[in-house]
Amino acid sequence: MNAPLLQMKNITKFIYGTDGKPIKNSDVKILRSVNFELLAGEVHVLVGENGAGKSTLMKILGGLIPPDEGQIFLKGRAVEFHNARTARTNGIAFIHQELNLCSNLDIAHNIFLGREPTKHGFRDKETMYIKSKELLQSLSTDINPSTLVGRLSTAQQQIVEIAKALSYDSKIVIMDEPTASLTAREIAILFDLIRKMSSKGIGIIYISHRFEEFREIGDRLSVLRDGQYIGTLSMDEFKPDKVIQMMVGRTINEFFPSSHIPTDEVILRVIGLKLTSKTKPINIMVRKGEILGIGGLVGSGRTELAKSIFGIRDFEDGNVEYQGKNITRKKPYQLIDEGIAYLTEDRKQEGLISEMTIRENLTLSSLKKVSRVGLISPSREHETANRLTKELSIVARSIEQLVGTLSGGNQQRCVFGKWLNTDPKLLILDEPTRGIDINAKAEIHKIIDDIAASGVAVIMISSELPELIGMSDRIYIMRTGSVIAEVQKGPEMTQERIIEYICAGCP
């Protein structure tokens, strides 16, 4: 076996005191003697819940922060990175989840920003554009390097980041949650690029929470928990329940609780609803206390159906009945009063107001409940926000903390709290655990199960098949704007069967 491209040995990072010095005698450490290795041409998946130490370990590798103890070896040679520049000089590139590009500059200027080629002491734009085009072509894309980055899609911007990394002659590329904002088609393009890089001997460290991606793109998988290295698995050894237990010390069954019992009472019926003039009519129903799953690829019409039910989106034809009454084309504020709530897939843009406090966000959809004679009652608002914060275990300094400063899991709990305070009879959830770590997902699953157990009918859209199967009593599968199958809980509700329905007819 060839020597590893990268070895990180006994990497330790201490907690620092108010005097700016490390507290070395403390039992609490950010990283505790972590070991990690990467082979040339390998895609090594790095997983762990938020706070496990993944980001800190990668920041050390990327030269952003120094280790307090331990050593880094590149091809067996001990190295020290004093800053990001020295890490890049040694062939290490860090592609962050939040892409680090200038939208007002073109692709070529972004790739060579701060190190533009020169000729006779002047900037050589011609060479810069030629080199940029060669880099883009090496990634099998024909994007014009003179295109403004602000006009590119998220996937195209990611290609630019990869081209920028390759321009440094990188031997190691760190990718932090690279698929978080991508569609299924864009993810396929990204995976092709990753395979091209690994075929050239580039080692890739791939950080992700998405279990469905691990086997498809990874060669090995390493787990961190509470700042410690837990272990490494080959993809032949990969099993979701085994990885979950390594990550959080719990089994997979604890992540999909099922205390709710559906009744026979139908809460919602969708009758002959056509999303567009070209789609087939949709007929679905959901019962009291039931969790109804909606599956399908991105673009299959799942979100459009949810928004049509909630009155956000117009549709071509059909009716929506709620508790036996026709509510077709009612407005969202009317439906909220009727007892329907919709938790959007985009909590940052549509679910929360990040510049407002936890208190203000939690009561935003139920102002009538915290008001007296048309004016918000501070005492009622504080009482409500404190109660919801406690019930949903929202971790924050106080209810006056800005919601945008919370972790993803705590932000999602705030969205749930905002809608639960409206006392819904029907709760529509669109990707309720997107962008949060595995432990926070388990807590959200428990909230959803408790909601259904209280008698609320739940419609849950999810792209994660283990979640869809683990939580749902029934699943409708959508494709091209229509429902093409219904799967009942039981032997038929398997990933293989659902993928078969979802991808039937896919190219």
Share of the chain above pLDDT 70, in %: 95
For position 43, what pLDDT does the model report?
A: 96
What is the tens place of the pLDDT at every residue in 355-408? 999 999 999 988 888 888 888 899 999 999 999 999 888 888 899 999 988 877
What is the DSSP pairing of strand 43-47 with strand 203-207? parallel
Q: Which two tokens stand for residue 445?
A: 């699953």
Q: What's the average model confidence in pLDDT over 453-461? A: 96
- CB 229 within 8 Å of CB 52: no
Q: Does residue 321 come out as left (phi exceeding 0), alpha (psi in the -120 to 50 range) or beta? A: beta
Pick the CATH number of 252-339+424-507 from 3.40.50.300, 3.30.9.10, 3.40.50.620, 3.40.50.1970: 3.40.50.300
List C-alpha distances in Å: 353 to 109, 411, 432, 489: 34, 10, 17, 37
Q: What is the separation of C-alpha 386 from the centre of its chain, rounded to a whole number of angstroms?
A: 28
Give pLDDT, residue 456.
Answer: 96
Output DSSP code: residue 127.
H
Alpha carbons 134 and 359: distance in angstroms, whole number: 52
Cross-strand bridge partners of residue 317? 274
Q: How far is CA 390 from the centre of its chain?
A: 25
Residue spans in the chain of domains classed CATH 3.40.50.300? 1-91+171-249, 252-339+424-507
- Determine phi and psi for 137, rounding to 5 degrees: -65, -30
Query: What length does the chain have?
Result: 507
Q: What is the pLDDT of residue 244?
A: 78
- In whole angstroms, what is the distance from residue 229 CA to residue 10 CA? 10
Output DSSP code: residue 16. Answer: B
Question: Taking the mean position of all CA atoms in its chain, how far away is CA 156?
Answer: 19
Q: Kindly tell me if the per-residue pLDDT of 250 is higher than 70.
A: no
- pLDDT recorded at residue 243: 84
Average pLDDT, the chain: 88
Which two three-digit tokens encode residue 10?
């006994």
Q: Of all helices (H) and strands (E), which one includes residue 234? A: strand 228-234
Full-model pTM: 0.61
Model confidence pLDDT, tens digit, residues 161-203:
888 888 888 999 999 888 876 777 778 888 988 998 899 999 9
Q: Tell me which fold the domain 1-91+171-249 belongs to.
A: Rossmann fold (3.40.50)
3-state SS, 152-187, equals CCHHHHHHHHHHHHHHCCCCEEEEECCCCCCCHHHH
